[in-house]
Structure 1
Amino acid sequence: MVTSGNNYKDKVSQLISWGHWFSFFNIIAAMLLGTRYIEHSEWPETLLGQLYLGLSWVGHFGFLVFGFYILILFPASFLIPSQRLMRLFAVLVGTIGLTALLLDTHAYETLELHLSPLVWDLLLSGEKTELNARWQYLFIAVPAIFLMQLVLAEWIWRKLRKLTRKHVGVPIAMVFGLCFLSSHLIYIWADAKLYRPVTAQRSNFPLSYPMTAKSFMEKHGWLDRQEYTRRQAAQGIEESEHIRYPMSVLKFDDLGTRQNVLLIMVDSLRSDMVAPETMPYLSAFARQNLNFGNHYSADNTNDGGVFGLFYGLPGGYINSIRSEQTSPVLLDTLQKRGYQFGLFSGNGFEETIYTDAIFSNRLMPNDAATIHSDAQAIAAWKDWLAQQQRKTPWFSYLELTSVESFEEGGDYVPKFTPSLGNMQINPAEADTNVLLKNSYRNAAYHIDELLMDIFSQLVEQNVLDDTIVIVTANHGSEFNETGSNTWGAGSNYSQFQLKVPMIIHWPGMVPESVPRATSHLDLVPTLMESLLNTTTPSAQYSSGISLFDQDTSRRWVLAGDDRSIVVLQKNTTTVVDKYGNYRVYNQDYQLQSEGKPKLSTLMQVMHELKRFYQPEP
């Protein structure tokens, strides 16, 4: 048995030597627990990817445990004079560390997230759910871990002289060091080359931050940043997960109502513009039809908003859809029913989501690329409408872009002058915010006049009574109303960027103003059920529900993309990033320091974001 020396130096020397071996055996324990991450993660297909996995498994857990030793136990060896007390302290630290690692493996298996403020809050929330109950059962292992650490600490102390005489400490440290260094060097190369069998493992292990050197390589001319960005975007599409959309074969009662459909997308039009002063015609149209006044886009970007509207899926699936060039179920069904398609855009469909996915299987007009204004798009639409035969139903998509390009001006006479409250002010004295919003309102007023022309054309052609007309937007636009220095779209998930009009003229339906929360994801189920008469549940082809569903139990609406999950609830907006960090905002999009999402809600959202990736049973 090791006898403690009488002087301070001998005590510290023995404790440091003991601490090294205690850390080594805890590294082995951590590596064994770490196999759960490997089991749950995607297995790399290439030999280099498998080599990196092995090196990072050894090097990362070796560095992780030894790092905690250097930060905690090593200084404590100098501060705690009693050897027994020091060993007990080390046992407690080791127990806490392995318990946290055990909880992290379970979080990774169930939520695909590592321990983070969000996961800890969910774990300690006290909410009675099956997942929370299973997590609490893991704490039964704490006494066993403590006992194991206690036995290990005592055994190493008794065998310390024998272990020290083996002189294997330096070779062991070299093995862990070489594995750690090699794994990071491989990742630096893989990151520059976008070698996915390696880069896909970036977040497999907790507290894993592989080194990159893009700035260094760019500085020395070894990396072209623009080419790198282009290849990175392409890789995100090419290597996305396989999607099952729809999840089952669709079934129908009959051929449906055979009504025409006109879908008008007003880019960047936020819902509060639909007011008698700014858009009198659309405002009157909304009062005379179905007005969903609490409606949200699927995202705050062009691609994400349009994607959610046509597919009924959250933006997280967009890369998979693009990779497989999967056409929307709605358009496929319309095409099978013999619908004629008329597709028109004020900017010539410059957004790639149209050609990559939505209309990839449709016959785009030959002159689509020659259209550069809303007036030209409407003129082309009128010509097309005049040629349609009454016996053949049609689907027409008309995208109007004047609101989105309001800063460029247009060939229309401005209606509004800058004002502050009820007081008119000189444009030269107005600040940038007032001028921008005034220009935006003028563009919305111009669009309103174009919409009146469209509605009049439907009446002239005598097709309005047999045509479903939908007016909406891909997203809104902000003018720093949240006070967070955010403008336009794509900068936050406030109501100014997400809340958009959803106004529907449905022949035979009584006008109604609908106050409940609705989403772009709901349009596809609405048309599939009420126009095309499918009997297949909407969950098989969409994440939304029919706009005509009177169920008031809906507690949240989903938005966001592959980087952020956005949960919109009655008085809060929760934004969760892909690493599990979250922020909760109130209805004015002001950060709430005490806000926490419910575990049950988060689990439902996480399930919805993975449901269409599930393998065949």
Structure 2
Amino acid sequence: MIERRKQMTRDKVSRLINWGHWFAFFNGLLAMIIGSRYIGSVGQPDSIISWGYLALSTIGHFTFLAFIVYVIFIFPVSLLLPYSKILRGYAAFVGSMALYILLYDTIIYDDYGIHLSPFAFDLAWQDLNALLHSTSYIITPIVILVIELTAANFIWKRIDKIQKKQWGNKVVLFVGTCFISSHLIHIWADAANVTDITRFDDAYLVSYPATARTFMESHGVDGNTVTSDEPSQKTSNLHYPIEPLQCQTETQTNVLVIAIDSLQAAMVDDVTMPFLSQYTRESLNFTQHYTGGTQFKSSMFTLMYGLQGNYSDKKDFTIIPPIINQELTRQGYQLGLFTARSLTELASTGAMFKGFQPHISVSDDGSATTDIQSITALNQWQHNQTAPWFAVLNLTAPQDYDTPVGFLGIETIKAPTSLKPAQKVLFNQYRQSLKFIDNQLSQLLPEIDDNTIVFITGTHGQVFTSSIEDARRDLSPDNVKVPLVIHWPNISPSETHYRTSHYGIAPTILSKILGCTTASEKYSSGRSLLEPNQESWIYIGNSREFAIYQKDEITVLGRYGKYRIYDANFEQRLNKKMSAPELIQVMREGRRLYQN
């Protein structure tokens, strides 16, 4: 008798588990329907193969998510409380909650361009009225709960018939094939840079498709060689620019942009960088200038595109060049890029430097030597030009604390007391590399034609650590506040004390040099640097890790969606909730070019 009861219990549990599997599969189908809203936010695929990938990815991803929810929340209850009525009601509740979260995430993603996290939840909660502006968001949860309860009972009553048909293994094989195939296709697309597939990478909640590029690059294979220069963009939601530019200029002026890695604003003084300090006094000096990112790629993206750094993660920009490149080319400018970064590194920046002729310096003696080579190459190139030119010179020695062999630098000084002993050594070595850069600028700039407009800035600031990853993740003022000096012929030297950022450089060049009359908001997140900036915030970083600098506080979002708020000097963490209105503006600015 006891053995029979045990067998009946095992049979009952087995039946509940079978029911749970089919209930999870049904929830996967519902999740696919709700998840289709993401496609409307990103834009539909352009080709048959990308539609096929998206179908496979959708089936595999959402079915997998539904199964994970089942394994974590429902399966243990099946063993502990093997009572069908309780389990059906509980499972319907869990399924409904999971779908509510998914639905809420689609709303947040459509409005802010980010997925659910503590930051996104707090932001959306304070903006709830604007997000849930339709009664459908009240009715839909009720409908979902009714469907869940109905499905739970329907499947339970027919579970024996379903099992007899032996569909289970076929469904598992089909879903598994979809899941694995989508990842294999993505590996190929990532290697071949098929952006109509890879642009969906971040579209789905907790989606991490397999990639091949890191593996290929580690083995010396350039994963960017197979690409299409002019893919169709007709179904992408991106509008960049929002409307065509109207540009016309009577005179054409040469432009030189000098972007120095790890150029901290506070270090441009008469002792460390005497030439640049004097040059600053003879130019337009923007004393409250901020970069757009903490590494070369993210910073130069904001400089060249004039857009917030969260756009830099969008795959569209791997094939769409900055409009400044397009307009310079249209007006007959010669474009030159002078850097020590490899072709692989430049390829990873997408279309940022499309149209530029790269001049890559190579040396085994360190970045100081390659900087000398880059400056020499620029001098030769600009003297040989017969058409107007636009050049970007990237100097890298300060990031590596490097100076050439035999360099006679400046005397060491007492390092700030807040630094640790190892950091104090780096501090004075950093000053030596800045003095080296200052000497190079003192030789370069007198060779530049007097009528050339020169922009000098930093790609990012500097924090004293030997860890590149720690430096990239540091969003403190030391790492994001950089100098901006513009030597503009026929404009009197002055100091500008309102806050500016890299977003304003492209609009300045387009409007003041290339004669574009189109409003900057049609193509940029910034405004001309020569016009007072009324915006009270600056977005620094990418879509995963960023800081929002406001007047009195700094909000920093970490790697896992948690946020921290600091005072304006980044010296004290504030125990407070975010001030939503400005942050909502920031996040919507990051989606503005993707609005339907």
TM-score scaled by structure 2?
Answer: 0.75
State which of 319, 323, 337 in structure 2 corresponds to 1:323.
319
Change (3 A) 1:133 1:485: farther
- Percent identity reads 27
Partner of 2:223 in structure 1?
231
Separation (CA, whole Å) in 1 of partners of 2:118 and 2:108? 12
State which of 294, 300, 318 in structure 2 corresponds to 1:300.
294
State which of 518, 532, 541 in structure 2 corresponds to 1:550.
532
Tell me the alpha carbon deviations over residues 514-568 of structure 1, each in whole angstroms, 9 at most, x when there is no partner: 333211121122233334443211123333211122142x122233357655533
Separation (CA, whole Å) in 1 of partners of 2:502 and 2:341? 23
Separation (CA, whole Å) in 2 of partners of 1:539 and 1:452? 37
Q: Using the TM superposition, give the Cα deviation of residue 413 of structure 1 relative to its aligned residue in structure 2, in angstroms.
A: 1.0
Change (3 A) 1:255 1:489: farther
Separation (CA, whole Å) in 1 of partners of 2:179 and 2:154? 35
Q: Given that residues 478 and 487 in structure 1 are in contact (C-alpha distance below 8 angstroms), is that contact kept between their aligned partners in structure 2?
A: no
Q: Given that residues 12 and 78 in structure 1 are in contact (C-alpha distance below 8 angstroms), is that contact kept between their aligned partners in structure 2?
A: no
Is 2:472 aligned against 1:493? no
Worse-matched range after superposition: 287-296 or 200-209:
200-209
Give the AA of the match of 2:141: V
Partner of 2:438 in structure 1?
448
Q: For the pair shown, which has the larger CA radius of gyration, 1 or 2? A: 1
Equivalent residue runs for 1:52-91 within 5 Å: 57=58, 61-77=62-78, 79-80=80-81, 87-91=88-92
Give the AA of the match of 2:456: V
SS of the equivalent of 1:478 reads coil
Tell me the alpha carbon deviations over residues 557-616 of structure 1, each in whole angstroms, 9 at most, x when there is no partner: 233357655533342143476xx835445356689696766665565445544555678x
Equivalent residue runs for 1:202-221 within 5 Å: 205-208=204-207
Q: Using the TM superposition, give the Cα deviation of residue 280 of structure 1 relative to its aligned residue in structure 2, in angstroms.
A: 2.9
SS of the equivalent of 1:403 reads helix
Is 2:548 aligned against 1:567? yes
Q: How many residues are treated as equivalent by the alignment?
A: 572
Partner of 1:173 in structure 2?
168
Separation (CA, whole Å) in 1 of partners of 2:57 and 2:350? 37
Separation (CA, whole Å) in 1 of partners of 2:281 and 2:579? 37
Separation (CA, whole Å) in 2 of partners of 1:74 and 1:342? 62
Partner of 2:33 in structure 1?
35
Separation (CA, whole Å) in 2 of partners of 1:355 and 1:126? 36
Worse-matched range after superposition: 508-517 or 240-249:
240-249
Q: Given that residues 522 and 545 in structure 1 are in contact (C-alpha distance below 8 angstroms), is that contact kept between their aligned partners in structure 2?
A: yes
Q: Using the TM superposition, give the Cα deviation of residue 434 of structure 1 relative to its aligned residue in structure 2, in angstroms.
A: 2.6
Q: Using the TM superposition, give the Cα deviation of residue 294 of structure 1 relative to its aligned residue in structure 2, in angstroms.
A: 1.9
Q: Using the TM superposition, give the Cα deviation of residue 439 of structure 1 relative to its aligned residue in structure 2, in angstroms.
A: 2.0
Give the AA of the match of 2:32: G
Change (3 A) 1:346 1:205: closer
Is 2:130 aligned against 1:130? yes
Separation (CA, whole Å) in 2 of partners of 1:399 and 1:58? 45
SS of the equivalent of 1:567 reads strand
Computed over aligned residues only, the root mean square deviation of the Cα atoms, in angstroms, reads 5.1
Give the AA of the match of 2:527: I
State which of 268, 277, 282 in structure 1 corresponds to 2:271.
277
Partner of 2:498 in structure 1?
516
Tell me the alpha carbon deviations over residues 285-325 of structure 1, each in whole angstroms, 9 at most, x when there is no partner: 4345432122122322234433433442445458655535x
Change (3 A) 1:15 1:104: farther
Q: Using the TM superposition, give the Cα deviation of residue 31 of structure 1 relative to its aligned residue in structure 2, in angstroms.
A: 0.9
| Structure 1: tracts of 5 or more residues without a match | 1-6, 423-429
Give the AA of the match of 2:427: K
Separation (CA, whole Å) in 1 of partners of 2:232 and 2:562? 24
SS of the equivalent of 1:231 reads coil
Q: Using the TM superposition, give the Cα deviation of residue 456 of structure 1 relative to its aligned residue in structure 2, in angstroms.
A: 5.6
State which of 439, 444, 455 in structure 2 corresponds to 1:470.
455
Change (3 A) 1:467 1:488: farther
Separation (CA, whole Å) in 1 of partners of 2:460 and 2:199? 31
Give the AA of the match of 1:473: G
Change (3 A) 1:94 1:290: same
Separation (CA, whole Å) in 2 of partners of 1:355 and 1:105? 29
Worse-matched range after superposition: 372-381 or 105-114:
372-381
Q: Given that residues 584 and 591 in structure 1 are in contact (C-alpha distance below 8 angstroms), is that contact kept between their aligned partners in structure 2?
A: no
SS of the equivalent of 2:223 reads helix
Separation (CA, whole Å) in 1 of partners of 2:100 and 2:488? 58
Change (3 A) 1:132 1:357: same
| Structure 2: tracts of 5 or more residues without a match | none
Give the AA of the match of 2:173: L
SS of the equivalent of 2:319 reads helix
Give the AA of the match of 1:438: N
Separation (CA, whole Å) in 2 of partners of 1:62 and 1:416? 65
Separation (CA, whole Å) in 1 of partners of 2:380 and 2:208? 58
Is 2:507 aligned against 1:525? yes
Q: Using the TM superposition, give the Cα deviation of residue 491 of structure 1 relative to its aligned residue in structure 2, in angstroms.
A: 4.6
Separation (CA, whole Å) in 1 of partners of 2:557 and 2:59? 34
Q: Using the TM superposition, give the Cα deviation of residue 474 of structure 1 relative to its aligned residue in structure 2, in angstroms.
A: 2.2
Separation (CA, whole Å) in 2 of partners of 1:387 and 1:192? 44
Separation (CA, whole Å) in 1 of partners of 2:511 and 2:200? 42
Equivalent residue runs for 1:9-158 within 5 Å: 17=15, 20-21=18-19, 24-25=22-23, 27-28=25-26, 30-38=28-36, 40-41=38-39, 57=58, 61-77=62-78, 79-80=80-81, 87-111=88-112, 113-123=114-124, 125-127=125-127, 130-134=130-134, 138-151=137-150
TM-score scaled by structure 1?
Answer: 0.72
Q: Given that residues 564 and 575 in structure 1 are in contact (C-alpha distance below 8 angstroms), is that contact kept between their aligned partners in structure 2?
A: yes
SS of the equivalent of 1:574 reads strand
Q: Given that residues 23 and 155 in structure 2 are in contact (C-alpha distance below 8 angstroms), is that contact kept between their aligned partners in structure 1?
A: no
Is 2:320 aligned against 1:309? no
Q: Given that residues 329 and 355 in structure 2 are in contact (C-alpha distance below 8 angstroms), is that contact kept between their aligned partners in structure 1?
A: no
Separation (CA, whole Å) in 2 of partners of 1:235 and 1:363? 19
Q: Given that residues 240 and 323 in structure 1 are in contact (C-alpha distance below 8 angstroms), is that contact kept between their aligned partners in structure 2?
A: no
Partner of 1:427 in structure 2?
none
SS of the equivalent of 2:170 reads helix
Change (3 A) 1:357 1:506: same
Q: Using the TM superposition, give the Cα deviation of residue 406 of structure 1 relative to its aligned residue in structure 2, in angstroms.
A: 3.6
SS of the equivalent of 2:30 reads helix
SS of the equivalent of 2:516 reads coil
SS of the equivalent of 1:278 reads coil
SS of the equivalent of 1:168 reads helix
